[in-house]
Structures are given as structure tokens and as C-alpha cells.
Amino acid sequence: MDENNISGMHIYYYYVCKRKLWYFSNGLAMESENENVKIGKLIDETTYKQKKKHIMIDNTINIDFITEHKLLHEVKKSRKIEEAGIAQLKYYLYYLKKRGVEGIKGRIDYPLLKQSLNVELSEEDERELESAAADIVKIISAALPPKFKSKRICKSCAYYDLCCI
């Protein structure tokens, strides 16, 4: 694993919880039975059905869908962990920019809330994502996950049993 293989999920989990990032990246999959994950899948299956969805690039980043004027869309269930969703979408803009795709913008869609949020990439974001990518490689290559720190989201996390019981 190096900085070129970092996916949007790595970035998302990095901002949600670094311990979750480690679990996810080290083959501990517990997401399939999680209620939030099931709701996310249902939203995916029932919204924006007319769009060509899940555009996989380089086998690394997976964009929900793209509309006119190079607008990348990321669909989220709620605004609860909005910072992580914004970072994930900025990472897609950053990843593509680094590979010569210019003039792209992003939008997070919250179909259940009937809301959306426009996202652009600044030079400061690029520096932050570069440093996050280096940090992610370090975290997931470690032999053990980062220490447990209780968070507001733990109760609804798929890894709750591993961390808290």
C-alpha cells in the first residue's frame, strides 16, 4: 500500500476514526450487518437511478456519479459526519487534478434531506490531503490499530463490539 492506492473510503475513515480506518484496511469487515450501512445501500439502490453510477477510476477511487460541467457527486445519508464526506469528495478532486483533470467541482447530495453542498478544492486542501495520505499509509501499515478513544459515533459504528465490549 502506498499513497497512490488510497481510496475515498480510506480518506473518509481517516476523518471519521483512525481506528476504524485501521480495521477496514486490515481486512476486518464488519460492515455488512450494520444498520447504517444497510440504509446507505438502500439509498444507493433507490436514488439517482437514471444516472450512470459508481465510476471506478484506476481501481482506486469510486465516484458516485458525474453530471454536466464536470460536477462530481457523492451521495450521503446524513450530515452527521459531514467533515469526512467533504474530505472524501475533495480527495477525488485532488486525485483527478494530480492526474491532469482540471476544472472539476464536487457536490455532496443528501437525498433524504433534499439538500446538497457544493465542494471545491483549495491549495490548502491539497496540502492537507497530501499530509493525510502520508499519515494513512503510516496508520494502516502499523501492526496494531490506534488506541481506542470513545467517540459520539461509536454506538452506531460497525466495529462497536470490537472496541467497546
Q: Which residues contribute to the site for ligand SF4 (CB under 6 A)?
A: 17, 19-20, 23, 148, 151, 153-154, 157, 159-160, 163-164
For 140, the grid coordinates are 494502516
61 phi and psi angles, rounded to 5 deg: -110, 145
CB of 140 to ligand SF4, least distance (A): 13
Q: Which is nearer to ligand SF4, 73 or 88 (CB)?
A: 88
CB of 143 to ligand SF4, least distance (A): 17
Burial class (CB in 10 A: 0-12, 13-18, 19+), 67: exposed
Q: Which is nearer to ligand SF4, 104 or 163 (CB)?
A: 163
Report which DSSP code applies to 31: -
Q: Are 85 and 73 in contact, with CB atoms under 8 Å apart?
A: no
3-state secondary structure of 36: helix
Q: Which is nearer to ligand SF4, 37 or 66 (CB)?
A: 37
CB of 20 to ligand SF4, least distance (A): 4
